[in-house]
Amino acid sequence: MSHQGKVCIITGATDGIGKEVALNLAKMGFTLGLVGRNAKKISATESEIKATADNENITFFNADLSSMDQVRQLALEIQAKYNRIDVLLNNAGAYFTDYGKTDEGFENTFALNHLSYFLFTDLLLDTIKVSPQSRIVNVASNAHLNTNLDFENLQGFNGYKGWPAYCKSKLCNVMFTYELARRLEGSGTTANCLHPGFVHTNFGNNNKTSVRMSLTAAKALGAINVKKGAQTSIYLASSAEVDGVSGQYFSKCRPKTSSPQSQVLVDQQRLWSITEQLLN
Q: What is the pLDDT of residue 225?
A: 79
Look up the pTM and report it. 0.91
Domain count along the chain: 1
- Measure the CA–CA gap between 121 and 8, rounded to whole angstroms: 13
Whether 235 is catalytic = no
Cα-based distances in Å from 49 to 30, 52, 68, 126, 228: 12, 5, 28, 28, 18
CA dihedral 43, 44, 46, 47 (to 10 degrees): 110
Write the CATH number for 175. Answer: 3.40.50.720
Q: List the 249-251 sheet strands across, edge first.
A: 58-62, 31-36, 7-11, 87-90, 135-139, 190-195, 249-251, 254-256
Q: What is the pLDDT of residue 226?
A: 83
Candidates 95, 117, 166, 249; catalytic one: 166
| Residue 205 placed within a domain | yes
49 dihedral zone (left: phi>0; alpha: psi -120 to 50; beta) = alpha
The series of mean pLDDT values per 10 residues for the chain, 280 residues long, is: 89 95 97 96 94 96 98 98 98 95 98 98 98 97 96 96 96 98 98 82 54 47 76 98 98 98 98 97
Q: What is the pLDDT of residues 84-108, one digit of tens each?
A: 999 999 999 999 999 999 999 999 9
- Measure the CA–CA gap between 224 and 110, rounded to whole angstroms: 26
Q: What is the pLDDT of residue 219?
A: 40
198: domain range?
7-279
| Residue 192 placed within a domain | yes
Bridge partners, residue 36, by sequence: 62
Question: What is the DSSP secondary structure assignment for residue 223, as one 8-state letter?
Answer: P
Please, how many CA atoms are within 13 Å of residue 204, restricted to the half-sphere of its CB? 19
| Residue 1 placed within a domain | no
| Residue 2 placed within a domain | no
- Measure the CA–CA gap between 20 and 114, rounded to whole angstroms: 22
| Residue 232 placed within a domain | yes
Q: What is the pLDDT of residue 214?
A: 52
